[in-house]
Chains A and B, each alone.
Chain A
Amino acid sequence: MIEISMEVNGREVTDQVEGRTLLVHFLRDQLGLTGTHVGCDTSQCGACVVHVDGRAVKACAVFAAEADGRQVTTIEGMAGDDGSLGVIQQAFQDHHGLQCGFCTPGMVMSAADLLRQNSNPDEDEIREYLEGNLCRCTGYHNIVKSIRAAAAAMG
């Protein structure tokens, strides 16, 4: 076992992990942050996307120990301290950007990384950026709409 420390959603955490412990399992099973989902476990679906040092990564394809000393943000970190929804989350709710919601944490985290780089993406740019995020319910249309609305709301 190795001891690792990282900042998760602004909070310093320290725990023991095995070398093979994946970041997604560390977050879900050891920290109880079950908002990050495992959809495929084969790097295809993007349900597990979180940010490490501000960049979107698939938490099912990163070892927890690789995030030692880094800053990690999960879907839980997108909401306010009082539980109020963040701008992107609110836009998904307002524009029906989710149905079952399984893909949503990854969609929101990918959208946040996109909007960090490009504050006003057009539809094609959004669709291209979400290439690694699969949704089996919505047909993507309302997800694109939600992200356009979030971009507008963020000004």
Chain B
Amino acid sequence: MYSFELRQPTSIGGAVRALADGGQILGGGQTLIPTLKMRLADPGVLVSLGRVDSLLGICTDDSGRLCIGGATTHAAVAEGGGAYPALARLAGRIGDPAVRNRGTIGGSLANNDPAACYPAAVLASDAVVATNARDIAADDFFTGLFETALDDGEIITEVKFPVPASAAYAKFLQRASRFALVGVFVARFASGVRVAVTGASESGVYRWSEAETALSAEFSPSAVDSLSVAPGGMIDDLHGSPEYRAQLVRVMTSRAVAAC
């Protein structure tokens, strides 16, 4: 690891000031620390959010949205996110217990790994990602592989999830990494169904609009049977070919609907 200065502010304002002259945010470190070990990053200054109490915790706002502080761990969401059961279950199946005790929702979203779980929940739920500067709609947040709408040093302070009438996340586990080989989050609102797919596309999480139309018309596992998923642009690695992933997208969507 290159040497750096570690700062541990206790307020959002303190974190913003600590980041003013560059430096990088440290969430749970479950992605960033391995990256630092490989010398793939040389931030100079790391600003930990671990002591900013106002970024920790879960509540329900006046419009019934489940609001999760940006530095809240996966374990805390699994335990305290009961108002949105599908989301709590998703959090409880990220990685392993020790990873869940450190990894945070803000870190997961900022990283936008193409096989991460939370991005699918945020996109399917039409959640709002709040930062120290603005509110960003889910549809505008994820901009590509490991890319988001965040500016340098912009802190995810809260994620606000509208709670659907029913929802489920179906994750086909990549056993070695414990990420999703393919994961599909289906959320059914009075206004329609949203379907978000992770682990499949080379450009990261995306909405499967054909499935949304089909499921909004008829909400049943077989509603997607006749849809075809093109393998073009799907991830190709030793765990699965583009064709395999394309097939999984349909199967996992069906399973998520069945579990709703």
Which residues does A use to contact B, with CB under 8 Å? 2, 18-20, 22, 41-43, 46, 49, 55-58, 60-63, 65-66, 68, 110, 113-114, 129, 131-133
User: Is there contact, CB below 8 Å, between B96 and A131?
Assistant: yes
Grouping DSSP codes into helix (H, G, I), strand (E, B) and loop, the A interface class, with mixed when no group exceeds half, is mixed
In the assembled complex, 27 residue pairs joining A and B whose CB atoms fall closer than 8 Å, in A order, are: A18-B3, A19-B4, A19-B5, A20-B2, A20-B3, A20-B36, A46-B98, A56-B101, A57-B101, A57-B102, A61-B29, A61-B102, A62-B29, A62-B33, A62-B102, A65-B6, A66-B6, A66-B48, A66-B50, A110-B97, A113-B97, A131-B96, A131-B178, A132-B95, A132-B99, A132-B178, A133-B96
User: Is there contact, CB below 8 Å, between B46 and A19?
Assistant: yes
User: Is there contact, CB below 8 Å, between A42 and B34?
Assistant: yes
* A-B interface contact total, Cβ < 8 Å: 72
User: Is there contact, CB below 8 Å, between B97 and A132?
Assistant: yes
Residues of chain A lying within 8 A (CB to CB) of residue B46: 19
In the complex, B165 has a CB within 8 A of chain A: no
- Bound-state CA distance A46–B99 (Å) is 10
Tell which of A22, A41, A42, A58 touches B98, judged by Cβ atoms closer than 8 Å: A58
User: Is there contact, CB below 8 Å, between B75 and A132?
Assistant: no
User: Is there contact, CB below 8 Å, between A61 and B6?
Assistant: no
Q: Which 9 A-B pairs give the minimum distances between C-beta atoms?
A: A132-B96, A19-B6, A131-B96, A20-B1, A55-B101, A58-B98, A56-B98, A61-B33, A132-B98
Residues of chain A lying within 8 A (CB to CB) of residue B8: 65-66, 68
Which residues does B use to contact A, with CB under 8 Å? 1-6, 8, 29-30, 33-34, 36-37, 46, 48, 50, 75, 95-99, 101-102, 178
7 additional A-B pairs beyond A20-B3, A62-B102, beta carbons within 8 Å, are: A56-B101, A58-B102, A66-B6, A66-B8, A66-B50, A110-B97, A132-B97
Q: Nearest Cβ in chain B — how far from A124, in angstroms?
A: 14
Residues of chain A lying within 8 A (CB to CB) of residue B97: 56, 110, 113-114, 129, 131-132
Residues of chain A lying within 8 A (CB to CB) of residue B50: 66
Residues of chain A lying within 8 A (CB to CB) of residue B99: 43, 58, 132
- Bound-state CA distance A22–B37 (Å) is 10
- Bound-state CA distance A113–B21 (Å) is 40
- Bound-state CA distance A146–B97 (Å) is 19
User: Is there contact, CB below 8 Å, between A57 and B4?
Assistant: no
User: Is there contact, CB below 8 Å, between B29 and A63?
Assistant: yes
- Bound-state CA distance A43–B101 (Å) is 13
Closest B residue, CB atoms, query A22: B33
